[in-house]
Amino acid sequence: MNISDEYSCQLTVPVFQEKAWQLRRALHGLSFEQLKKLWGCSEKLAVQNYERLHACEPGKKLTPALLAYEGIQYQYMAPHIFSESQWKYAEVHLRILSGFYGVLHPADGVIPYRLEMQAKLTSFHEAFGSVNSLYEYWGDSIYRNLVSETCGHQSPLQIVNLASGEYSRSVLPYIAPPVTRVSCIFGERDGVKVKVKGTLAKMARGEMVRWMAEEQIEDIRRLREFSRLNYRFQEDLSSDMEYVFVGDGVK
């Protein structure tokens, strides 16, 4: 994660900040070895994140969420070079799912953290109580927040799912009419099957967000026009709930 004080937007406060601080207090109660086991990372990364956990103070050295992450999908999204209209589009339409913060708006101020949504909490009941997973911790609260933001709008909420399976699991099981969703799948032909390759799919997810912001997409059906990174919409493989895009790798 990045720490930056170079941004032009007005920072906002994460809607579930108090629940995030509860998790932070629980993490503070774990030893270095326990945290390394929870994080499932190398010694080097564990040291870096342990130091960040104990050095970063709530409310200080905050970075807008959309600029804080540096994973592959964010590199291809390239939010640091968004135009003003692209940033405004993202503020309205884009939400970031987080194991630590639950759900974030692009301008929400965040501190660096490491906590994957699929982290197993069963071995750390002294810190997290009877909660066995972050899916259990967040329950349906992330989904309910997404739905509550559309109250008063004439059209039912349409969710475009560009999250990995690990994170979409915190939303998709709770979706019920009139809310609808479309999950975008990016893969390559493997005989008669379509195989999803992790890195390429992440690149495509980020690129699609960038394209949506550039085109100011408001009609979910226009997602079928996406054709970057050599991906093309495959109508015969798609459904109302799943848009499949097939490519031949990035050239």
Question: What's the pLDDT score for residue 151?
Answer: 56
Q: Is residue 93 part of a domain?
A: yes
- pLDDT score recorded for residue 60: 78
pLDDT of residue 155: 73
Query: Would 59 be classed as within a structural domain?
Result: yes
77: containing domain = 17-247
pLDDT digits (tens, 9 = 90+) for 160-214: 999 999 999 999 999 999 999 999 999 988 877 888 888 999 999 999 999 999 9
Q: Is the peptide bond before 178 cis (omega within 30 degrees of 0)?
A: yes
Q: Is residue 2 part of a domain?
A: no
pLDDT in the model for residue 154: 54
For residue 87, being part of any structural domain is answered with: yes
- Which residue is associated with the tokens 């799943």? 242
User: Over the stretch 6-18, which tens digit does the pLDDT of each residue have?
Assistant: 888 899 999 999 9
5 occurs within a structural domain? no
pLDDT, averaged per 10 consecutive residues of the chain (251 residues), comes to 86 95 92 93 93 82 93 95 96 96 96 92 84 94 90 74 95 94 92 86 96 96 96 94 85 44
Q: How far is Cα of residue 173 from the mean position of the Cα atoms in its chain?
A: 16
Query: Residue 12 domain-assigned?
Result: no
pLDDT at 251 (0 to 100):
44
d(CA 56, CA 72): 24
Within a domain: 135: yes
Report if residue 95 sits inside a domain.
Answer: yes
> How is residue 45 written in tokens?
């990364």
If one counts the domains in the chain, the total is 1
